[in-house]
Amino acid sequence: MTIGEKIKEIRRHMGLSQENLAHDLGCGVATISRIERGLAECGGDILAAIKTALDIQGAPLYDYETATFHERLYIWGQLMMERRMADAEDLGQELSIILKLPYERDLIMLYRLHETALLLTNGHYDDVQEKLHLFEDGLDDMNNEHLYHLYRLKGTLSFRRDNHEDALQFNLKALELKEHFRGNLAGLYYSIATAYSCLNRPFSAIMYLEEARRHHKDDKLSVLGVFIDHVFSDSYLKIGELNRAKALLDKALLRAEAIGHKLGRKKYIGMILHLLGVYHKKRGEAGQALQYYERAFEFFDKSLPDYLENLYKKIECLIAMKRQAEAEELIVYGLEVAKSNEKFTVLYTSLRRLLTLREKEAQLYLENHAVPYLISKSEYFYALDICKQLEEQHKKAGNIKKSLETACISRDVYVKIFLGIGLETKV
C-alpha cells in the first residue's frame, strides 16, 4: 500500500471524511484527495501534520518503521519474561497505536497475542482463557508466527493451572514452529524443561535446559537465568548429581538475592534456599537442611505451594532427627493449611502414616491410596520415598511377598521417570 492509501484507510477507520481531515489541516479537500491517490507528495511536515490530525504520531507507516515496530513487539515480550512489568506496561501502551491501522492485520494479531501474554504474566487467568477462546474463533486469520505465540500462551496458562502434561504438549507444538519466532528461544526451551521437571522426568528436563542455556544471554541480573539454574539444580538433585547441583545453587543464590531485592521478587531466594535444604538432606545432614528450610520460610507466602513443599521437607528432617513430637505437631498444622490442596493433604497424611508404619492401617493407606494417587499425579519421587520405606518395613516383618510387590512398583515408577511411559498425553 502507498502512504496515501494507508492514510485513507486510517481516516475511514476513524469515521472521518476528507472534509473533516482537510478542516483539521487547514487545507482544501482536493489536497487530501490527491494525497490519498498518490498524486501529491506526502512527506516531512505534511505527513507529520496528518499524523497529528489523525492522532497516530507513533504509528509505523513506512516499511522500515513497520519492521522496527515488529521488533519492538518482541522486546515487549522479553520485558514480560524478565518481569520488568512497569516497562512492559509502558511499552504496551505505546505499541497500542497499531490498533488504529486497520490494514496491519498481522501486526494487530501479534499485538493482541502479546497483550494477552501481559494479562497472563499479571495473573488474570480467566481473562486469558476468554481471549484464547476468541483466538480459536479466528484461527483462519493466523499465520505460523501467530500460532507459535498462541501455543506458548496455551502452554503457559496450562502450566500456571498445574496442568503440566498439556503445558508440555502445547510448548512442543510451539517448538515445531520455532523458525517463525523472531525472539530468543531460551524461554521456550525453559518452559519445556520445566514441564518435564514438574512431570518428574529430570533427564528430559536437563536435555532442554541445556538448549535453554545455549540460547540464553548470560546476564547476572536475568530472572530467566535464575529459573534455569533452579530447575537444573532440582533435576540434578533428583538424579543424585549432588555436586553439580550444589555448584549451581551457590551461583543461583547470589543471583536470586540480587534480583529478589532489585525487582521485589524475594520468592526466588526462598526457592534456592529450599533446594539447598534438599541438597543437605540427601547428604544425610538433616540439621543443616533444617536450617535452610527455616530460612526459606521467610520468603514464601502460606498460600503458595512452595510454602507447603518447604513445610513437608522440614517435617521429614524432624522425623530423621527423631524429633517426633515436633513432627506430629507440624503435620496437624500442615493438614490445616493444605486443606484445599489435595496433593499436600495426601502427603501430610502419608507422613502421619509413616510414623506408625508398623500398623496395618498405615500400610493399607500408603499402598492403596497414597502411592497410587502420587503416581497418577506424576509425583514419582514422593511415591518412591514411600515405597522405599514400605519395602524396608515388609522386609523387617519377614513379608517377602509384599516386599517384592513394592519393589516392582518402584521399578515401574523408575520406568516412567526414564522413559515417560504414560505421559505423552495428546492435547
Same domain? For 52 and 76 the reply is no
* Residues 148, 274: Cα–Cα separation, whole Å: 34
Half-sphere exposure of residue 239: CA atoms within 13 angstroms, side-chain side = 18
* Residues 115, 121: Cα–Cα separation, whole Å: 10
pLDDT for 302: 87
Closest residue by Cα to residue 336 from 316, 311, 361 = 311
Residue 411: count of CB within 10 angstroms of its CB: 10
Kindly report the backbone phi and psi dihedral angles of residue 198, in degrees, each rounded to the nearest multiple of 5, phi listed first: -70, -25
* Residues 27, 19: Cα–Cα separation, whole Å: 9
* Residues 100, 402: Cα–Cα separation, whole Å: 71
Q: CA 376, 381, 382: angle at the middle one, nearest 5?
A: 75
Same domain? For 82 and 150 the reply is yes
pLDDT for 423: 37
Q: Which contiguous run of DSSP H or E holds residue 163?
A: none
* Residues 191, 152: Cα–Cα separation, whole Å: 9
Is residue 26 exposed (0-12), middle (13-18) or buried (19+ Cβ within 10 Å)? exposed
pLDDT for 422: 41
pLDDT for 262: 57
Q: pLDDT category, 381, cuts 50, 70, 90?
A: very high
Half-sphere exposure of residue 115: CA atoms within 13 angstroms, side-chain side = 19
* Residues 196, 211: Cα–Cα separation, whole Å: 14
Kindly report the backbone phi and psi dihedral angles of residue 127, in degrees, each rounded to the nearest multiple of 5, phi listed first: -65, -40
Among 107, 138, 164, residue at a domain's last position: 164
Same domain? For 77 and 141 the reply is yes
Grid coordinates of 422: 504414560
In a domain, 409, yes or no: yes
182 contacts 70 by C-beta, under 8 angstroms: yes
The structural domain count of the chain equals: 4
In a domain, 293, yes or no: no
Grid coordinates of 287: 540439621
* CATH number of the domain encompassing residue 21: 1.10.260.40
Q: What is this structure's pTM?
A: 0.87
Closest residue by Cα to residue 375 from 413, 421, 349, 404 = 413
pLDDT for 265: 67
The string of pLDDT tens digits covering residues 324-368 is 999 999 999 999 999 999 999 999 999 999 999 999 999 999 999
* Residues 310, 75: Cα–Cα separation, whole Å: 35
Cell 550444589 sits at which residue?
Answer: 246
Grid coordinates of 354: 509413616
In a domain, 217, yes or no: no
Please state, for a pLDDT cut of 70, what percent of the chain lies above it: 96
pLDDT for 156: 96
In a domain, 22, yes or no: yes
Report which residue type is found at 25: L
Average pLDDT (210-215) is: 94
Same domain? For 38 and 90 the reply is no
pLDDT for 40: 86
> At residue 264, does pLDDT exceed 70?
no
Same domain? For 73 and 125 the reply is yes
280 contacts 290 by C-beta, under 8 angstroms: no
Q: Where are the alpha helices (DSSP H) in 321-399?
A: 324-337, 342-354, 360-365, 371-376, 380-396
In a domain, 156, yes or no: yes
Q: What is the DSSP letter of 368?
A: I
Closest residue by Cα to residue 353 from 310, 294, 393 = 393
pLDDT for 421: 47
Grid coordinates of 35: 494525497
Question: 38-47, 224-233, 300-309, 415-424: which range is least confident on average?
Answer: 415-424
Please state, for a pLDDT cut of 90, what percent of the chain lies above it: 83
Same domain? For 32 and 100 the reply is no
* CATH number of the domain encompassing residue 100: 1.25.40
In a domain, 318, yes or no: yes
Q: pLDDT category, 84, cuts 50, 70, 90?
A: confident
Same domain? For 123 and 43 the reply is no
pLDDT for 223: 80
> At residue 97, does pLDDT exceed 90?
yes
387 contacts 357 by C-beta, under 8 angstroms: no
pLDDT for 173: 97
pLDDT for 261: 61
Same domain? For 137 and 86 the reply is yes
The string of pLDDT tens digits covering residues 122-170 is 999 999 999 999 999 889 889 999 999 999 999 999 999 999 999 999 9
pLDDT for 424: 39
Question: 117-126, 250-259, 322-331, 385-394: which range is least confident on average?
Answer: 250-259
Please, what is the average pLDDT of the chain? Answer: 92
Among 139, 164, 189, residue at a domain's last position: 164
Instruction: Say which residue, 47 or 420, is predicted with more confidence.
Output: 47
Backbone torsion region of residue 200, taken as left when φ is above 0, otherwise alpha when ψ lies between -120 and 50, otherwise beta: left
Structural domain of 421: 356-427
In a domain, 103, yes or no: yes
The string of pLDDT tens digits covering residues 271-321 is 999 999 999 999 999 999 999 999 999 999 888 899 999 999 999 999 999
In a domain, 186, yes or no: no
* Residues 258, 166: Cα–Cα separation, whole Å: 33
Cα radius of gyration rounded to whole Å, the chain = 28
Among 164, 184, 201, residue at a domain's last position: 164
